[in-house]
Amino acid sequence: MSSALDAVLRPRSVAVIGASRTPGTIGHEIVRNLIAYGFEGPVYPVNPKSTHAHSLKTWPDIEAITDPVDLAVIVVPKEHVLGVVEACARKGVKGVVVITAGFREVSAEGRALEDRITQVIRDNGMRMIGPNCMGVINSDPAVSLDASFGTTLPMVGRAAFASQSGALGEVILAQANEVGLGISQFVSLGNKADVSGNDLLEWWAEDEQTQVILLYLESFGNPVKFGRIARKVTRTNGKPILVVKSGRTRQGALAASSHTGALAGGDQAVSSLLADCGVERCNTVGQLFDLALGFCNQPLPAGRRVAVLTNSGGPGIMATDALVHFGLDISELEGATGAALRERLHPEASVRNPVDMIASAGPENYRASAEALLADPTVDALLVLFVSPVIADPPAVARGIVSGVQAGLARAGVKKPVLACFMGRQQGDEGVAILAEAGIPNYRFPETAAYTLAAMSRFRTWRDQPEGVVRKAKVDRDRAAKALKSCRAAKREWLNADEARDVLTAYGIPTAPAERVSTPEQAAAFAERVGYPVVLKIDHEAVIHKSDVGGVQVDLRSEREIKGAFWEIQQRLGQAGFNIPTSELRFLVQKMITTGRETILGAVQDPMVGHLLMFGLGGVFVELMKDVVFRVHPLTDSAAYAMVRTVKGFPLLAGYRGEKPGDVACVEDVLQRISQLVGDFPEVAEMDLNPFLVLPEGQGGVAVDARLRVRAD
């Protein structure tokens, strides 16, 4: 795949079909950009109605060019594009960029024409960017290709950028220059008729100039393939991928009845897919650039411990709060570091982290403090803040920081990231430029720098953690298949209690002792066998959310209470509008589990990425706070481990304030069994274990209520 894109991204010659002598036209601007950017190869303008363009000889058509052509940039009316592509195929051109719009994005007729063009491309072993795109750029000095109609010439750098929006492309390039972010390659994908974001990921994974990959996407062509490629890029190649994915709302995409299905709404599937691949999802293009500056210019931190150096207490506190909020730690400095700082700073300065040198701190204070902090083995990263007072000299301060950073890193003997925040830029632009020249990115506010460091730390953790394995437990697939077949044969979507219990048991998922009954006497007999107290639940396919309609009675401790519960449930069902004939009434009587921490485990099928696995703490944590985490199937052991520990309420499960820890290993095991289940039976559309009670460590857990829905088809 990489070599197949050589003709597009590393061409030796370029033809512009539709070149124009009229300034302001797309055909004119593309030729101008190729020349102005210094393309290292011949440029062939093609226009049958003129003899020259930009002092270059024009050719009447692509086949008239006597030398080989690697890349053809097509800027002709849409009705001529097919013929031009066919001519390129006859010429032996291997790369095509179709700038022209008016295809599948506007009409069915346009879609049909685009499909015909794409077929020609594939039949002839060519690759095509677009149609309906802005063009491509490669800043490698050995190539110097700007085959776009943008007005901004990018700086040479290490960040590759693919945008599905052509209009956004110009803004992206201009903003990159403004913040000092160099671009290795830029591709406007357009309609993605041939070359997709996945193809570019494979190319950039092997491209030596590209160290960070930035994507603006509106859709995923092949999410499963994206996941496989992205995991290789981030883990094997060690290159960060930063993504802005628009279209975050998906109203009604899942008409879900389970808690898992409801919580998986919106674009949760996209976020889960990206998290599974180690991809950093950004909320805005601005955030994308903030992170790119850090990833492109600084090494990844070896740990989460950060030192903060400031000349103002307020910003220091802001930085500290933000760092902790984003999951980083404030380093506990060594005593020797504090002593060295005390020798160099004003008596009123604070030498505890965050180190506040006070407003009178000058260039030498910054130099000495930066050196001491980076030399400290307890520091994994440094955030330097500078608020410019009237008497300060920002350029001198910047030079002091650069000198101190170099000396501190030399003493430490290891690479550590350094980010800066010069607040009040009107006084510090020259200082910011000095920092940028030394590779130290600057941020306007401490929170932005803190978020960038946190993202870099997350990626380092992802890259270095074991990949994990998909474990296969010994299960009884035949028993589960029989239960699912029974449900579908009865033309039901939801499994009844017996069927659900059979599926869980077949996959080794523990359940509370239970029995389906029709009369109070049967329920009482069950209670006598297993012991009181028991729970009584309505078991009917029409009643999905039992508790919401009064279909559950708990803590029943005698036959009399069981009889009362039967009557109470029937009365409440009637009041809720469920007119179920007495002959059809079925109940589930269940041993009441009185210990354990409530959690929810489940799975839901997403039309785009397949099954999502879910975990969260139960009760108010899931109902109100939505404290849940999703991961894409298949689930590895390391992913299950991370899932359980990602929810905010995990300390309650791990043992909070002296409480006994829950059996976390059991939860991880059950999550992997659910993953195996939905992999074996893709027809399972939704599944809830809610609640799944986690017992004390070493005692396992138990599913108290289970709901499973199969697809109707």
H or E segment to which residue 206 belongs = helix 197-206
Entry field: residues in the chain: 713
CATH of the domain at 413: 3.40.50.261
Tokens of 119: 């077929």
Domain boundary among the residues 444, 464, 484 is at 464
426 and 526 belong to one structural domain: no
Please state, in angstroms and as integers, the Cα–Cα distance from residue 170 to each residue in 173, 293, 565, following that order: 5, 19, 68
Q: Which of 613, 653, 618 is nearest to 630 (CA)?
A: 613
165 and 113 belong to one structural domain: yes
Residues contacting residue 194 through CB under 8 Å, at least 6 positions apart: 118, 121, 122, 127, 128, 129
Tokens of 245: 């994915």
Whether 258 maps to a domain, the answer reads: no
Amino acid at 613: L
Domain boundary among the residues 540, 560, 591 is at 591
CATH of the domain at 136: 3.40.50.720
Residues contacting residue 677 through CB under 8 Å, at least 6 positions apart: 475, 480, 503, 507, 603, 684, 687
Tokens of 268: 């949760």
H or E segment to which residue 278 belongs = none
Please tell me the distance from the alpha carbon of residue 449 to that of residue 421, in angstroms, as a whole number: 7
Amino acid at 33: N
Give residue 252's pLDDT: 35
H or E segment to which residue 7 belongs = helix 6-9
Q: 497-506 vs 477-489: helix axis angle to the nearest 10? A: 160
559 and 636 belong to one structural domain: no
- How would DSSP label each residue in 313-347? HHHHHHHHHHHHHTT-EE----HHHHHHHHHHS-T
What is the chain's alpha carbon radius of gyration, rounded to the nearest angstrom? 31
Residues contacting residue 112 through CB under 8 Å, at least 6 positions apart: none
85 and 173 belong to one structural domain: yes
Whether 434 maps to a domain, the answer reads: yes
Q: What is the number of domains present in the chain?
A: 4
30 and 93 belong to one structural domain: yes
Domain that holds residue 73: 3-210
- Provide the 8-state DSSP code for 421: E
Q: What is the pLDDT of residues 587-629, one digit of tens each?
A: 999 999 888 999 999 999 988 888 999 999 876 667 666 788 9
How many other C-beta atoms can be found within 10 angstroms of the C-beta atom of residue 294?
Answer: 24
Tokens of 502: 């059979």
Give residue 3's pLDDT: 66
Please tell me the distance from the alpha carbon of residue 433 to that of residue 427, in angstroms, as a whole number: 12
153 and 112 belong to one structural domain: yes
Please tell me the distance from the alpha carbon of residue 132 to that of residue 124, in angstroms, as a whole number: 21
Whether 479 maps to a domain, the answer reads: no
Please tell me the distance from the alpha carbon of residue 170 to that of residue 679, in angstroms, as a whole number: 44
How many other C-beta atoms can be found within 10 angstroms of the C-beta atom of residue 574?
Answer: 11
Whether 289 maps to a domain, the answer reads: no
Please tell me the distance from the alpha carbon of residue 660 to that of residue 510, in angstroms, as a whole number: 21
Residues contacting residue 203 through CB under 8 Å, at least 6 positions apart: 1, 2, 5, 9
In angstroms, how far is CA 370 from the centroid of its own chain?
Answer: 34
Give residue 576's pLDDT: 86
Please tell me the distance from the alpha carbon of residue 307 to that of residue 443, in angstroms, as a whole number: 16
DSSP H helices, 381-472, are: 394-412, 429-437, 446-464
pLDDT average per 10 residues of sequence, the chain (713 residues): 80 96 92 95 93 87 96 97 98 97 94 97 96 96 94 92 85 88 95 94 95 88 87 95 77 43 65 91 92 97 98 95 96 96 94 94 96 98 89 88 98 97 74 94 95 97 90 96 95 92 96 92 94 92 80 93 93 86 86 90 90 86 76 94 91 84 96 98 94 94 93 78
Cα atoms in the Cβ-side hemisphere of radius 13 Å centred on 163:
22
Please tell me the distance from the alpha carbon of residue 271 to that of residue 282, in angstroms, as a whole number: 10
Whether 238 maps to a domain, the answer reads: no
Domain boundary among the residues 191, 210, 229 is at 210
407 and 536 belong to one structural domain: no
Cα atoms in the Cβ-side hemisphere of radius 13 Å centred on 411:
17
623 and 532 belong to one structural domain: no
Give residue 428's pLDDT: 61
CATH of the domain at 555: 3.30.1490.20
Give residue 585's pLDDT: 84
H or E segment to which residue 164 belongs = none
Q: What is the pLDDT of residues 667-686, one digit of tens each?
A: 999 999 999 999 999 999 99
Q: What are the backbone angles phi and psi of residue 709, rounded to the nearest 5°? A: -120, 135
Beta pairing class for 241-245 and 280-281:
parallel
| Bond preceding residue 131 cis, omega within 30 of 0 | yes
The phi-psi region of residue 327 (left if phi > 0; otherwise alpha if psi is between -120 and 50; otherwise beta) is: left
Whether 562 maps to a domain, the answer reads: yes
31 and 74 belong to one structural domain: yes
Whether 679 maps to a domain, the answer reads: yes
Tokens of 657: 């304030």
C-alpha torsion sign, points 199, 201, 206, 210: positive
525 and 627 belong to one structural domain: no
459 and 537 belong to one structural domain: no
615 and 526 belong to one structural domain: no
First to last CA, the chain: 37
- Provide the 8-state DSSP code for 589: E
Residue at token pair 């879609």: 111
Helix (H/G/I), strand (E/B), else coil: 370: helix
H or E segment to which residue 475 belongs = none
